[in-house]
Chains A and B, each alone.
Chain A
Amino acid sequence: QVHLVQSGAEVKKPGSSVKVSCKASGGTLSTSGITWIRQAPGQGLEWMGGIIPTSGSPNYAQKFLGRIVITADMSTNTAYMELTSLRSDDTAVFYCATLAAGGFLDFWGQGTLVTVSS
């Protein structure tokens, strides 16, 4: 059973960037992909993108292209999601989740609240 622990809450200014980490234990990221999901306050779940480390290249949702970078460090079993040019409507909880064979999300991190405010 994989356990994912995410970095802590952040408060950012509009126009800045945020980098959220997701450390896996009880399993390795190389054998499963990592996906990032956004949930704005009171809203539903939105897929942002993901990476399967053994395949190399991440893939991103169209709406985040140009603003998001997802990476994985196999030496520390940690994935990262960086979102740039932050706006107030980026205020949300960001989740990482492991990508099971086929594409469903079997284990989730606890979530990281990112607040974008001037």
Chain B
Amino acid sequence: DIQMTQSPSTLSASVGDRVNISCRASQSITTWLAWYQQRPGKAPKLLIYKASNLGSGVPSRFSGSGSGTDFTLSISGLHPDDFATYYCQQYQIYSPATFGQGTKLEVK
């Protein structure tokens, strides 16, 4: 299976900051990568698909980039409700889907 590794595991930031979360795949997945946001006690929500495409209704302060094995989720101008846990997921065809271990974005 393709392994997904996120960094950092925890990220401290303040409202208004710009942050980057990294996700690395153990082999090339071209751009078959999604990002999800999960608030405590809630189901995950799709943010980004195919590495850089914004999900429906997702604010434009969220953006995704990367291809091959290295990907980044960027959030510019953090809002209070952005403090949550973020997961990347690869969905390479003919391979079981796998998630990163998560990055918890917390208030500094």
Contact = CB atoms under 8 A, between A and B. Distances in A.
Interface in B49-103: 49-50, 55-56, 87, 89, 91-93, 96-102
B19 interface: no
Given A108-B43, A108-B44, A103 B101 contact: no
Nearest to B33: A104
Interface size class, chain B: 20 to 34
A40 B38 CA distance: 14
Interface residues of A, number: 23
Contacts of B97: 35, 47, 103
A105 B50 CA distance: 11
A27 B70 CA distance: 34
A89 interface: no
A104 B91 contact: yes
A29 B87 CA distance: 25
B67 to A, nearest CB: 15
Contact of B98 (A47, A105, A108): A47
A66 interface: no
Contacts of A61: 96
Given A44-B101, A44-B102, A95 B44 contact: yes
A102 B49 contact: yes
Given A44-B101, A103-B91, A108 B45 contact: yes
Interface of B: 1, 32, 34, 36, 38, 43-46, 49-50, 55-56, 87, 89, 91-93, 96-102
18 contacts: A35-B97, A44-B87, A44-B101, A44-B102, A45-B44, A45-B102, A46-B99, A47-B96, A102-B50, A103-B91, A103-B92, A104-B34, A104-B46, A104-B91, A105-B36, A106-B56, A110-B43, A111-B43
Interface of A: 1, 35, 37, 44-47, 59, 61-62, 95, 97, 100, 102-111
